[in-house]
Protein backbone atom coordinates (compact mmCIF):
# COMPACT_ATOMS: atom_id res chain seq x y z
CA UNK A 1 0.00 0.00 0.00
CA UNK A 2 2.77 2.43 0.90
CA UNK A 3 4.66 1.33 -2.21
CA UNK A 4 1.66 2.13 -4.39
CA UNK A 5 1.45 5.63 -2.92
CA UNK A 6 5.16 6.16 -3.53
CA UNK A 7 4.98 4.92 -7.14
CA UNK A 8 1.97 7.09 -7.88
CA UNK A 9 3.61 10.21 -6.49
CA UNK A 10 7.02 9.63 -8.12
CA UNK A 11 7.77 11.71 -11.21
CA UNK A 12 8.18 9.72 -14.46
CA UNK A 13 11.95 10.38 -14.81
CA UNK A 14 12.88 9.22 -11.31
CA UNK A 15 13.66 5.65 -12.43
CA UNK A 16 16.52 6.96 -14.56
CA UNK A 17 17.81 9.05 -11.66
CA UNK A 18 17.68 5.93 -9.48
CA UNK A 19 19.88 4.02 -11.94
CA UNK A 20 22.47 6.77 -12.21
CA UNK A 21 24.42 5.85 -9.01
CA UNK A 22 24.59 2.19 -10.06
CA UNK A 23 25.89 3.14 -13.51
CA UNK A 24 28.43 5.44 -11.90
CA UNK A 25 29.68 2.63 -9.64
CA UNK A 26 30.11 0.32 -12.64
CA UNK A 27 32.07 3.02 -14.49
CA UNK A 28 34.39 3.54 -11.50
CA UNK A 29 34.99 -0.22 -11.19
CA UNK A 30 35.77 -0.45 -14.90
CA UNK A 31 38.32 2.37 -14.87
CA UNK A 32 39.94 1.46 -11.54
CA UNK A 33 39.93 -2.35 -11.71
CA UNK A 34 39.21 -3.91 -15.07
CA UNK A 35 41.07 -1.55 -17.41
CA UNK A 36 44.42 -1.77 -15.51
CA UNK A 37 44.08 -5.58 -15.32
CA UNK A 38 43.57 -5.77 -19.09
CA UNK A 39 46.62 -3.55 -19.69
CA UNK A 40 48.77 -5.68 -17.37
CA UNK A 41 47.62 -8.87 -19.07
CA UNK A 42 48.51 -7.47 -22.51
CA UNK A 43 51.92 -6.36 -21.23
CA UNK A 44 52.61 -9.83 -19.76
CA UNK A 45 51.59 -11.52 -23.03
CA UNK A 46 53.92 -9.19 -24.93
CA UNK A 47 56.80 -9.96 -22.54
CA UNK A 48 56.25 -13.73 -22.85
CA UNK A 49 56.23 -13.52 -26.64
CA UNK A 50 59.51 -11.55 -26.67
CA UNK A 51 61.52 -13.96 -24.48
CA UNK A 52 64.88 -14.97 -25.95
CA UNK A 53 67.74 -17.27 -25.04
CA UNK A 54 70.03 -15.67 -22.46
CA UNK A 55 67.36 -13.50 -20.83
CA UNK A 56 67.27 -13.61 -17.03
CA UNK A 57 63.75 -14.18 -15.73
CA UNK A 58 61.85 -14.75 -12.50
CA UNK A 59 59.17 -17.45 -12.27
CA UNK A 60 55.99 -17.33 -10.23
CA UNK A 61 57.69 -19.60 -7.68
CA UNK A 62 60.53 -17.11 -7.21
CA UNK A 63 63.17 -19.03 -9.19
CA UNK A 64 65.66 -16.75 -10.94
CA UNK A 65 67.45 -18.19 -13.94
CA UNK A 66 68.65 -17.53 -17.44
CA UNK A 67 66.84 -19.03 -20.42
CA UNK A 68 68.68 -21.84 -22.21
CA UNK A 69 66.00 -23.02 -24.66
CA UNK A 70 62.45 -22.00 -25.47
CA UNK A 71 59.80 -24.39 -26.80
CA UNK A 72 56.19 -23.57 -27.64
CA UNK A 73 54.90 -23.68 -24.07
CA UNK A 74 57.97 -24.55 -21.97
CA UNK A 75 61.20 -22.82 -21.07
CA UNK A 76 64.43 -24.41 -19.83
CA UNK A 77 66.19 -22.25 -17.23
CA UNK A 78 69.77 -22.46 -15.98
CA UNK A 79 69.80 -21.75 -12.26
CA UNK A 80 72.99 -20.77 -10.45
CA UNK A 81 75.23 -21.63 -8.55
CA UNK A 82 75.36 -25.25 -9.79
CA UNK A 83 73.99 -24.52 -13.30
CA UNK A 84 71.01 -26.79 -12.71
CA UNK A 85 68.60 -26.84 -15.64
CA UNK A 86 64.88 -26.63 -14.86
CA UNK A 87 62.03 -27.00 -17.32
CA UNK A 88 59.13 -24.69 -16.44
CA UNK A 89 55.94 -23.61 -18.12
CA UNK A 90 56.28 -20.47 -20.20
CA UNK A 91 53.27 -18.97 -18.43
CA UNK A 92 55.03 -19.32 -15.06
CA UNK A 93 57.54 -16.63 -16.07
CA UNK A 94 56.34 -13.49 -14.32
CA UNK A 95 59.03 -10.93 -15.05
CA UNK A 96 62.09 -10.25 -17.12
CA UNK A 97 65.06 -9.24 -14.95
CA UNK A 98 67.40 -8.32 -17.78
CA UNK A 99 68.51 -9.23 -21.24
CA UNK A 100 72.15 -8.53 -20.38
CA UNK A 101 73.08 -12.18 -19.92
CA UNK A 102 73.21 -12.90 -23.68
CA UNK A 103 76.34 -14.58 -24.98
Q: Tens of pLDDT along 32-47? A: 999 999 999 999 999 9
Task: Say yes or no to pLDDT of 101 above 70.
Answer: no
- Write down the pLDDT at residue 15: 74
Q: Residue 36's domain spans which residues?
A: 2-46
Residues 42 and 78 in one domain: no
Residues 29 and 11 in one domain: yes
Model confidence over 12-36: pLDDT tens digits? 556 777 888 899 999 998 999 999 9
Q: In the 3-class helix/strand/coil scheme, how is the chain assigned residue by residue?
A: CHHHHHHHHCCCCHHHHHHHHHHHHHHHHHHHHHHHHHHHHHHHHHHHHCCCCCCEEEECCCCEEEEEEECCCEEEEEECCCCEEEEEEHHHEEEEEECCCCC
**pTM of the entire structure?**
0.66
Residues 42 and 57 in one domain: no
The percent of residues above 90 in pLDDT, for the chain, comes to 69
Amino acid sequence: MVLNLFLQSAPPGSSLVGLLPILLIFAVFYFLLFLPMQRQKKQTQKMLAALQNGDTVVTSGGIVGSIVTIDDDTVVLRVKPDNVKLQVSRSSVTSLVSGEGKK
